[in-house]
Amino acid sequence: QVQLVESGGGLVQPGDSLRLSCAASGSSFSFYTAGWYRQAPGKQRELVATTTPGRNINYADSVKGRFTISRDNTKRTVYLQMNDLKPEDTAVYYCNLAIPGRNYWGQGTQVTVSS
């Protein structure tokens, strides 16, 4: 059984930065694609960024150049560095681990960008 625990969300002003972390239990973390998704009020959950075991990375167009995803397999942790935050980045951010046959999700962490 895999458990994902996110941390690092909060209330920030436009232009500020935050770093989200997601720690995974279990020994299989390094073999699978890890990623971040977000869901704003009244909207569907959307992809933010993913990183494969080989560290191939994919970003949503809306965050390219501002967000950076990374992973530390020794710590079984995936990170999301978010710079130049905008009000439209406000959402609950979810960590994901894509294991064939099942997606695992964290509980979510709230990010609010407001002046």
Each residue's pLDDT tens digit, 19-75 = 999 999 976 788 999 999 999 999 999 999 999 998 899 999 999 999 999 999 999
**In 3-state terms, what secondary structure has residue 62?**
helix
Q: Mean pLDDT score of the chain, rounded to an integer?
A: 95
pLDDT of res. 100: 87
pLDDT of res. 1: 81
Per-residue burial over 45-71, b if 16 or more Cβ lie within 10 Å, else e, is eeebbbbeeeeeeebeeebeeebebeb
Task: State what percent of residues in the chain have pLDDT above 70.
Answer: 99
Phi, psi angles (nearest 5°) of residue 61: -55, -35
Tell me the residue type at 94. Answer: Y
